[in-house]
Amino acid sequence: MSYEIWNRRYTGSKYKLADWIFEIIDSQCSGSSFCDIFAGTGIIAKTALDRMSKVVINDFLYSNELIYKAFFMQSQYDKEKIEHYKNTFQSLQVIDLRENYVSTNFGGKFFSHNDAILIGEIRERIEKANDINDKEHSILIASLLYSIDKIANTVGHYDAYIKGHTLKDQFKFDLISPYHTESTISIYREDANILAKSLECDIVYIDPPYNSRQYSRFYHVLENIASWKKPELYGVALKPKPENMSEYCRATALDAFTALINDLKCKYILVSYNNTYASKSSSSLNKMTLENIKQVLASKGKLSCFEKSHQFFNAGKTSFSDHKEMLFLVEVNK
């Protein structure tokens, strides 16, 4: 099999909403350049490629940047070489391999012990490969991350692993399918508020994290394996020391959002929002209210609101009986 960009579990994924979002963009907006400034899975940026001549994609997670490069970066790569690596990785036998960083830390927890040995071995071989370019390196790392996510012993994120059962060996390395496009693509791993100061784009789509759940902590295993710095890990969930912490998950979220909107130079701003602010879980409580967001956006231009019932990806225990996805559209004042 091969992986498409949406073949991963990711909190807040807009896979099921992308067509609806672009129906609104197609009918309400004009322009040829588009920025997904909190890109997450990259699904919205992927959908934009069919419509826009220029697409900017940004996220501050290292694992997401590698995934964007693998799928979107329009540079040369050797398909036969990539296929050779896939065949080599699929033929590895655990009995021939040594313990490694992944098996020592994550074996028997996030993965079976044997699967963890394979994952660590493959990651180390990619790191030491001296015959691959940046695009090929990104394809191999992204393929490993997608293969990991398919079998990880989690509820969909890596804040914790599932306890109390025996883990089966089920890891298999498969490749992602890179996309060809005629659009010009720019990929950034940047703080959105910093990027906004220099960004010039017709349409900017904004889908920030609204609650206290830091994505760098939610996906720390994938971040760790992607960056391969092999840090010391702490606690039951085996997390490294905090880094890449978002202001949008803190009490300062509204200040950050206000600054972002004020700094944007564009014709249209679209902001996704959902009504999880009514959640019983403190970690799911939104840091900005609906009225906060409306007030900030209305100061930038003509504000419209669209909404759609939506069963979102919920990896936790919180349930929502009347979940709605909202999309705010601002036609920016000239």
- Residue 238 falls inside a structural domain: no
- Residue 324 falls inside a structural domain: yes
Question: Mean pLDDT across the stretch 171-185?
Answer: 96
**CATH number, position 318:** 3.40.50.150
CB 90 within 8 Å of CB 140 = no
278 CB-side CA count, 13 A = 9
94 CB-side CA count, 13 A = 15
- pLDDT band at 236; cut points 50, 70, 90: confident
The whole-number pLDDT of residue 320 equals: 46
Claim to verify: residue 170 and residue 200 sit in the same structural domain? no
Q: Is 290 left (phi over 0), alpha (psi -120 to 50) or beta?
A: alpha
Cβ count within 10 A of residue 197: 11
- Residue 70 falls inside a structural domain: no
One-letter amino acid of 58? N
Claim to verify: residue 39 and residue 118 sit in the same structural domain? no
Is the pLDDT at 219 greater than 90? The verdict is no
Of the candidates 171, 204, 231, which is a domain's last residue? 231
Q: Parallel, antiparallel, or unpaired: how do β-strands 175-176 and 184-188 relate?
A: unpaired
Q: How many domains does the chain have?
A: 2
Claim to verify: residue 141 and residue 199 sit in the same structural domain? no
The whole-number pLDDT of residue 164 equals: 85
Is the pLDDT at 85 greater than 60? The verdict is yes
Beta bridge partners of 259: none
Claim to verify: residue 82 and residue 32 sit in the same structural domain? no
117 by DSSP, 3-state: which?
helix
CA distance linking residue 95 with residue 156, whole number of Å: 29
Claim to verify: residue 26 and residue 109 sit in the same structural domain? no
- Residue 56 falls inside a structural domain: yes
Q: Considering only CA atoms, which of 3, 14, 66 is closest in space to residue 38?
A: 14
Domain that holds residue 298: 10-62+183-212+250-334
CA distance linking residue 284 with residue 280, whole number of Å: 8
**Mean pLDDT, all residues of the chain:** 89
Claim to verify: residue 204 and residue 331 sit in the same structural domain? yes
Claim to verify: residue 260 and residue 131 sit in the same structural domain? no
DSSP structure string for 224-285: HHHH------BTTTTB-S--S--GGGSTTHHHHHHHHHHH-BSSEEEEEEESGGG-SSGGGS
- Residue 136 falls inside a structural domain: yes
- Residue 298 falls inside a structural domain: yes
Question: Mean pLDDT across the stretch 222-242?
Answer: 87
Q: Give the sign of the dihedral formed by CA 75, CA 16, CA 145, CA 63.
A: positive
- Residue 303 falls inside a structural domain: yes
What strands, in cross-sheet order, belong to the sheet with 184-188?
A: 184-188, 54-58, 33-36, 203-206, 268-274, 324-332, 301-309
The whole-number pLDDT of residue 103 equals: 97
Claim to verify: residue 172 and residue 141 sit in the same structural domain? yes
Read off φ and ψ for residue 30, nearest 5 degrees: -130, 150
Is the pLDDT at 72 greater than 70? The verdict is yes
> 229 versus 247: which is more confidently predicted?
229
202 CB-side CA count, 13 A = 15
- Residue 117 falls inside a structural domain: yes
Q: What is the pLDDT of residues 261-316, one digit of tens each?
A: 999 999 999 999 876 544 444 444 556 888 989 999 999 999 999 998 755 544 44
311 by DSSP, 3-state: which?
coil
Q: Which has the minimum average pLDDT: 69-73, 243-247, 311-315, 321-325?
A: 311-315
Claim to verify: residue 165 and residue 19 sit in the same structural domain? no
CA distance linking residue 279 with residue 289, whole number of Å: 12
Claim to verify: residue 315 and residue 204 sit in the same structural domain? yes
Claim to verify: residue 159 and residue 259 sit in the same structural domain? no
Claim to verify: residue 168 and residue 269 sit in the same structural domain? no
